[in-house]
Structure 1
């Protein structure tokens, strides 16, 4: 609703220009928060709500807290209220909640373990994707950071071991984790094409996450390799057209970022071999390798004013980049352009003060693979070439 945008703008102008975090217990307990409201207008297709009619259904409100019990023991968590079209309805959820213990920490190295609901150190932006101020744009590159399966990518329930080594040449960071993925209805819509009679869930303790990062001491150069292994089990109900089966996904991404005084260049490449097992004769897909990549540049005209451009491509199967083979598997009911997305993005960021941010964004789309099937259930209504105009205002403390 328009009221949401009006409230966000009013809060922005009422927020002090340098509001500190709330601190308690002699500074050991810190509380932060943020709120963001966007308006989205598309020429066709549903993108975070009924965007052809102008959507105000992209709202984020978060509250996080951290308690530094001792120098080596930290408790941290965040609650998020997120409204994103038909994908997320604003129900409060736990983004992360963990205990971080680092028994070994000095000027040369650090070793530790995290336990709880933990953010996945996947790519450049996954760990910080839930906070509008830490994203490079209103919407992350959908060729890698799919919002249609956001919760499954964001975090997992389990344990993670990490280590950092500080060298003269730069810093090395290694993360290894295991646990259970966070599966919601959006994952079922994405991988099975509908909300079927049955239950899709993580298959036991099956989630594996690993990442290796190198960064120079000044963070001018950052290189990384991240991977996520997910196994899901579908228990079909009596009304399901599909049989009970399993889905295996191995998603990895190579990351590059270079930071200079006034500009930043980022690029990432991802592949996700995916396999469907035992779903019966009515499920046409068996194996595919999802592929995505982007190149992004940001230039700071002033310390508080930044322009950004990005080009990205994503494919349901790297061996079928025009979507022709996959469209044939559906008997032509799904158009071939629903199996790829090519997106050009131009953006502007204005930090009105350290706690208030305003953004404008334009996207030119060729293909609809980035779209949520949940928001666009009828493939016959899809339009191949379409544009998006978006604006957002965000506040934080």
Structure 2
């Protein structure tokens, strides 16, 4: 948070310096309230069968004090059941310089910003810009979002008009902002120890026209772990090196989206003495989403989402033999059936039902509990959201 504080100070000084200049201001925000009910799991709902602690809100400001310079910031609140405790924080806070280059743009921003993994990472916390209440966990895992989402560093970006469409790209480097949510979701409790960011860098490129959207992302994120009680775990680190391939095709009132992720998760320490036996899992994840846009601003969709912790152990039998835990903690198959209704330009009502086999992304990841998590389980989610802009 020191870097955020420094950038906040810089923002205040910049506001004061340019207060007498002509400027371009934009304000927008949203608030969303949800409900989740689940059977045979404690994922999201905790020890209860349901929860209303699904609340999101944000207020964003964008300011152009002079040509080429933009200052942008957003305060956000997010409470996501047992996965994220409620709290107010900066969703992003950066200063950006951009310059027109032919029919495109080249720029750089510094501060706190969102990563660009896949189609939805940078807008995953806004109900109106994501495709469902719960994003596909194979690509956008909620339990590990802290180790990937908020980057504090620099981002070089560009946009170019080609082939009757637009090509966008980003190259980012920095560290991620880690909270106690990551401690709890990975280890089971923040009292057992704390995670801290080591580094993050990524590259993303995306092409889009009226019918087609294609994307490719590579990111490398590393967090370190320091236990508070040596009797349970060891110091160590978790490193993710992932490739994400994204595609979307739109025809008439239908839209088909698919994203595929493959890469390595390297764990050193945590459950073994550091360097004693580094654990490397080559995981894969993908989803297929078919969506229909109906009259009166209604969307219906069906999605299949699959995740495998280790592609060489797709059925989890080796995992079960090694850990003594059920094999279904090594994979997840999630069928989702959902609907979204834009009551008007500012209101959105969304509902979805998940029918799940497996629990590879159910928390806590390091110490899963078969007594509270079944092989077959289900979840229903409902959310009403309102947005504003002036």
Note if contact 1:376-1:382 (Cα within 8 Å) is conserved in structure 2: no
- In the TM superposition, what whole-angstrom CA distance separates every residue of 1:187-228 from its partner, at most 9, and x where no partner exists? 33455565464432112xx21011111223x3x211111121
Asked whether 1:180 is paired with 2:180, we answer no
Structure 1 residue runs of 5 or longer lacking an equivalent are: 1-24
Asked whether 1:97 is paired with 2:93, we answer yes
Which residue in the other structure is 1:18 paired with?
none
Report the more deviating stretch, 189-198 or 248-257: 189-198
Please give the secondary structure, in 1, of the residue aligned with 2:128: helix
Equivalent of 2:81 in 68, 82, 85: 85
Aligned-partner Cα distance in 1 for 2:49–2:187: 28
Which residue in the other structure is 2:237 paired with?
246
Note if contact 1:161-1:176 (Cα within 8 Å) is conserved in structure 2: yes
- In the TM superposition, what whole-angstrom CA distance separates every residue of 1:246-269 from its partner, at most 9, and x where no partner exists? 322112210001123412111000
Which residue in the other structure is 2:119 paired with?
124
Which residue in the other structure is 1:61 paired with?
57
Asked whether 1:291 is paired with 2:284, we answer yes
Asked whether 1:48 is paired with 2:44, we answer yes
Aligned-partner Cα distance in 2 for 1:371–1:322: 17
Which residue in the other structure is 1:313 paired with?
306
Structure 2 residue runs of 5 or longer lacking an equivalent are: 1-20
Which residue in the other structure is 1:272 paired with?
263
Which residue in the other structure is 2:31 paired with?
35
- In the TM superposition, what whole-angstrom CA distance separates every residue of 1:9-35 from its partner, at most 9, and x where no partner exists? xxxxxxxxxxxxxxxx98711211111
Post-superposition offset of 1:52: 5.4
Aligned-partner Cα distance in 2 for 1:375–1:80: 29
Which residue in the other structure is 1:19 paired with?
none
Please give the secondary structure, in 2, of the residue aligned with 1:133: coil
Equivalent of 1:160 in 155, 158, 183: 155
Aligned-partner Cα distance in 1 for 2:281–2:190: 21
Please give the secondary structure, in 1, of the residue aligned with 2:364: coil
Report the more deviating stretch, 144-153 or 46-55: 46-55
Post-superposition offset of 1:296: 0.3
Post-superposition offset of 1:51: 7.7
Q: CA RMSD in A?
A: 2.4
- In the TM superposition, what whole-angstrom CA distance separates every residue of 1:39-87 from its partner, at most 9, and x where no partner exists? 1111221232248532111111111111122231111111111111122
TM-score normalised over the length of structure 1 = 0.86
1:212-227 alignment runs, 5 A limit: 212-216=205-209, 218=210, 220-227=211-218
Report the more deviating stretch, 298-307 or 45-54: 45-54
Q: Residues 361 and 198 (structure 1 numbering): CA distance in 2 closer, same or farther, change over 3 Å?
A: closer
Post-superposition offset of 1:106: 4.4
TM-score normalised over the length of structure 2 = 0.87
Aligned-partner Cα distance in 2 for 1:252–1:363: 26
Q: Residues 280 and 153 (structure 1 numbering): CA distance in 2 closer, same or farther, change over 3 Å?
A: closer
Q: Residues 88 and 228 (structure 1 numbering): CA distance in 2 closer, same or farther, change over 3 Å?
A: same
Q: Residues 379 and 272 (structure 1 numbering): CA distance in 2 closer, same or farther, change over 3 Å?
A: farther
1:145-156 alignment runs, 5 A limit: 145-156=140-151
Please give the secondary structure, in 1, of the residue aligned with 2:143: helix
Aligned-partner Cα distance in 2 for 1:376–1:133: 34
Post-superposition offset of 1:350: 0.8
